[in-house]
Chain A
Amino acid sequence: MVKVTEAPEMYTGEGYGLTRLEKIVGLARANSIWPLPFATSCCGIEFMATMGATYDLGRFGAERLSFSPRQADLLMVMGTISKKMGPVLKQVYIQMAEPKWVIAVGACASSGGIFDTYSVLQGIDKVIPVDVYVPGCPPPPEAILDGIIKIQELIKTESFRRRESDEYQKLLTSYGIE
């Protein structure tokens, strides 16, 4: 039998295992991410390599890219986001259903990168909350995979109540969402 992933910590007996539902759901979510690639420049090219046969993001359960925000769990922002693109990016984020995660790939998405200029958004965290930042200009596919693994860790350990918490609502409100 193919072993897809490690089972979470369990109390096991003959023919059964006991664990928290949260952990099972987290495990399922973490290994079936549907990413939405929001690729605007060279980081997007690195992402193409990441999806290709050599690096193969499909090994991590993220085989199926979603080009509709309605059916995506993970927004992958790869490349320079101009200020004029900011509201578009925010709209895409708002259209995604909870639970959702965001990964900022590369220097431009994380901080504006070399484009410290009037027309470029100085990091996507100026308009939407970000879970994981991947450094590099552009980051190699290995770094993007590392970011995805970090996202998987976040998903696995996230509590059911997080998205209902005041803290999370406050975070969204600070970005003017909802």
Chain B
Amino acid sequence: MSNQIENSLVESLLKEQFGEAIRSVNESYGMLDIVVKRENIIEIMQWLRDSSLLSFNFLTSLCGVHFPNNKGEELSVVYHMHSFANNKRIRVHIFFSQNDAVVPTVTNLYRAANWMERETFDFYGIKFTGHPDLRRILNMEDMQYHPLLKQYPLEDGTRTDKDDKYFGR
């Protein structure tokens, strides 16, 4: 496509606009992958959305990731954005500590973020400040923990017919 926007152009525009707020820029399988500072996430996403050239108008996905060995920055939130006009996608990461799992909501930019942030809260316990209705969405309301945090076992504690010694545990 002749009017394809190059990754390098997006990168230079972002660095020009936000400078230090862009922590690193990578490219995997042709997709631009930027790591930004948590406190700048709203303005960066708003700029990516509202830029008349880039126009990342669609939030494809929003999810959490837990890296327990990445001390001080155990948790991550990943935003996948899509520009319909340019047929282009971009991935935006933020990293932060498990002890400070608070992220500003992007529901004011994208209505689609509502349920995705609820899901991320449900599974990782990440609090999205400003979210209109932050409660569990997929798991039971009375669940006491956030099951995709890796300190919790995958298995269910109520299993009665399984003797661990037969499974090498």
Q: Which residues of the partner chain B approach A83 to less than 8 Å between Cβ atoms?
A: 139-140
B138 to chain A, nearest CB (A): 8
Q: Which of A117, A120, A122 contacts B160 (CB 8 A)?
A: A122
Would you call A126 and B139 a contact (CB within 8 A)?
no
A104 to chain B, nearest CB (A): 13
Q: Which residues of the partner chain A approach B160 to less than 8 Å between Cβ atoms?
A: 111, 122-123
- Whether B16 is near chain A, meaning CB under 8 Å from some CB there, is no
- Whether A119 is near chain B, meaning CB under 8 Å from some CB there, is yes
Considering the complex, give the chain A residue whose CB is closest to the CB of B147: A118
Tell me the dominant secondary structure on chain B's binding face: loop
Would you call A84 and B139 a contact (CB within 8 A)?
yes
Report, as a range, how many residues of chain B touch the other chain.
10 to 19
Q: Which residues of the partner chain A approach B159 to less than 8 Å between Cβ atoms?
A: 111-112, 116, 122
Q: How far is the CA of A62 from the CA of B153 in the complex (A)?
A: 43
Q: Which of B139, B152, B154, B156 contacts A122 (CB 8 A)?
A: B156
- The answer to whether residues A117 and B154 also contact, given A83-B140, A84-B139, A84-B140 and a CB cut-off of 8 A, is yes
Would you call A117 and B158 a contact (CB within 8 A)?
no
Would you call A111 and B161 a contact (CB within 8 A)?
yes
B121 to chain A, nearest CB (A): 16
- Whether B165 is near chain A, meaning CB under 8 Å from some CB there, is no
A98 to chain B, nearest CB (A): 28
Tell me the dominant secondary structure on chain A's binding face: loop
Q: Which residues of the partner chain A approach B139 to less than 8 Å between Cβ atoms?
A: 83-84, 118-119
- Whether B133 is near chain A, meaning CB under 8 Å from some CB there, is no
Would you call A116 and B155 a contact (CB within 8 A)?
yes
Q: How far is the CA of A6 from the CA of B140 in the complex (A)?
A: 49
- Whether B162 is near chain A, meaning CB under 8 Å from some CB there, is yes
Q: How far is the CA of A62 from the CA of B155 in the complex (A)?
A: 38
Q: How far is the CA of A37 from the CA of B26 in the complex (A)?
A: 52
B100 to chain A, nearest CB (A): 25
Q: Which of B143, B155, B161, B162 contacts A117 (CB 8 A)?
A: B155
Would you call B140 and A116 a contact (CB within 8 A)?
no
Would you call A112 and B156 a contact (CB within 8 A)?
yes
Which of A84, A118, A123 is the most central at the interface, judged by chain B CB atoms within 10 Å of its CB?
Answer: A118
Q: Which residues of the partner chain B approach A84 to less than 8 Å between Cβ atoms?
A: 138-140
- The answer to whether residues A116 and B162 also contact, given A83-B140, A84-B139 and a CB cut-off of 8 A, is yes
- A-facing mask of B131-158, CB < 8 A → 1, else 0? 0000000111001000100001011101
Q: Which residues of the partner chain B approach A112 to less than 8 Å between Cβ atoms?
A: 156, 159
Query: Which B residues fall within an 8 A CB radius of A?
Result: 138-140, 143, 147, 152, 154-156, 158-162
Query: Which A residues fall within an 8 A CB radius of B?
Result: 83-84, 111-112, 116-120, 122-123, 126
16 contacts between A and B (CB under 8 A): A83-B140, A84-B138, A111-B159, A111-B160, A111-B161, A116-B156, A116-B162, A117-B155, A117-B156, A118-B152, A118-B154, A118-B156, A119-B138, A119-B139, A123-B160, A123-B161
